Amino acid sequence: MSDKDIEAKQDASQAELLSTEKLHELLRKLDMDGPEMTKLEREAEAERSAVHEFWSTQPVPQTADTVSREGEVHAPLAPEQIRTEPYALPSETMEWCVVDVCDAQQMRELYVLLTENYVEDSDAMFRFNYSAEFLNWALMPPGFEPQWHVGVRDSAGQLIAFISGIPMDIMVRDTTMRMADINYLCLHKSLRGKRMAPLLIKEVTRRIHLTGVFQAVYTVGKLLPKPVATCRYFHRSLNPRKLMETGFSQQLSAPELAKVVATMRLPTTPSVPGLRAMRKGDVGQVRKLLNRFLKRRFEIVPVFRTDAEVAHWLMPRTDVVWTYVVEDAGRPGRITDFFSFYSLPSAVLKSESRKGAKKAAPVYRSVNAAYLFYYGTRDDYDISLTPNEREMCGGAKREKALVRARTDELIRKRLLELMADALVLARNAGFDVFNCLDMMDNSMFIRELKFGPGDGYLRYYLFNYMARAIESPKVGFVML
C-alpha cells in the first residue's frame, strides 16, 4: 500500500469518526443520550435525611440498613392477628368498595380515574393512558383475587381512589414465594397531600393477608426505603418527527431532523426466518422456554406454573400485547425463540413545540409507545474449549467464565436479530417509540439498536422480604 493510499484511508477513518461524533450529538439533542448519571446521586443524598413516617413502620429495609441475611421480615400472621374490619376513612362521606373489573361500567370508572389522575412526567406534558382492554389484561390473570381491587367512593358514588394487587409466584434468587404484585395506586387530585396513599396501602395489605399471602412486590419511580433494584428507561425512536412535535424530544433544525430520521430508518419487513405471531398451540413450549431462560439468567423472576398464565400474558390481544415466536424450519412446530411487547400510550397534555412556532405543528392526542415485555431464546449452547484454551485458563473457575462469556456473545447476537425485528413490527403497528428498561439482557442490544437513555428510573421494592441488592441486568420481572 502506497503512502497516498494510507493517507486516504486515514482521512476516510477520520471522516467516519467525525460523522459518528456528529450523530451522537444529534441523538443527545433528541433526548437519546440523556442526562449524566447524577440524578440518582442527588436522590440518594436527599434520601439520607428524609423522614418516612409511614414506611418506617412497615416491614421493609430502611435506607441505612445493610441486608446481610435474605428472608422474610416477619413470619406469616395467624388468622387472629389479622385485622378483620377495614381501616377507617378520613371522612364519613367516603366508603371502601371493591372495583369489579368484570363490570364494564366499573371498568369505565377506573379508566376515567387513571386517565385523569395517574402518572405524569415531571414536566406535566404526558400522562399514561391505560385502555379498558389493557386494564382487563393487567388486572384479571388466572386466579386473580377480586377483593384485591380496592377502591374508595365519595358521597356521590364517584370512584376517587384505587389500588390493586394480583397474585404471582416470584422467585428471588433461590426462594420462590406467593406474592402480591401491587400496582395502579391512584388518587383523585383533590385527595393529594391528605395521606390517603398510606391508608390504601394498609387496606390492600390487610385484604391480601386475609388470603394467606404475606409478601409483595411493587415499583415506584421515586426513591423510598429501600429498593432492591433500580432500572433505567431507554427509548428507541420510531417516529422522530412526531416525538419532536409533541415535545417528547427536543427541537431540531430541519437538517438535524433529516439526519436523525435517516439514522433511525428501519427495514420494511422482519428478517428472522420462521418468525410469526404466537398461536394457541405454542403456549406450552413458550412457557418452558420462558421459565428456563428467566431462571437460568436472572435473580428476581416470575414463575409461570400453568399454560393458562402464559396464555393470558402472552397470547396476542388486539391493541394490547403482541407476541412473536420463531419456528425452527428444520423441525416444524418447534419454537426456538420468542419476544413480546405491549402498548401503553401517553396522552399529550401540552406540547412545547407549538409554543411560539411560526408554522403550527400537527396536533397529536397521544404518543403511541410500545414497551418490551418478556422474551426468551436458547442459552444451552454446546461450547467446548480446546486443550490450549483450558491450559491458558489455568483452572475450572476461569474455564467456566470463558464458556459463559461465549454463551453470552451467542445470546447477544441472537437478541440483536430478534429485537431488530421487534422494532420493525412495532413501527409497522403504528408505534412512535419503543421503550425498555436496562433489565434482563437488554444491555446486549440497546446501544447497537440505537436506544438512548431517558431520565426516568423504575425502582423495585419487596414488602416483608429482605434481599441483597440486585443489579438491573439481573432483574427478570416486568411490572406493567
* Active site positions, annotated: 480
Which residues, at least 6 apart from 92, have a Cβ–Cβ distance to it below 8 Å? none
Which residues, at least 6 apart from 354, have a Cβ–Cβ distance to it below 8 Å? 245, 360, 361, 363
CB 463, CB 44: distance < 8 Å:
no
Nearest by Cα to 149 from 69, 157, 141: 141
Looking at the chain, the number of H-run helices and the number of E-run strands are 11, 16
The grid coordinates of residue 373 equal 415485555
Q: Phi and psi dihedrals of 244, rounded to 5?
A: -70, -45
CB 232, CB 473: distance < 8 Å:
no
H helices of 247-385, in order, are: 254-263, 283-297, 307-314
The grid coordinates of residue 35 equal 442526562
Instruction: Round to whole Å and give the CA distance between 91 and 195.
Output: 12
Strand segments, DSSP code E, in 50-158 are: 95-98, 126-128, 149-153
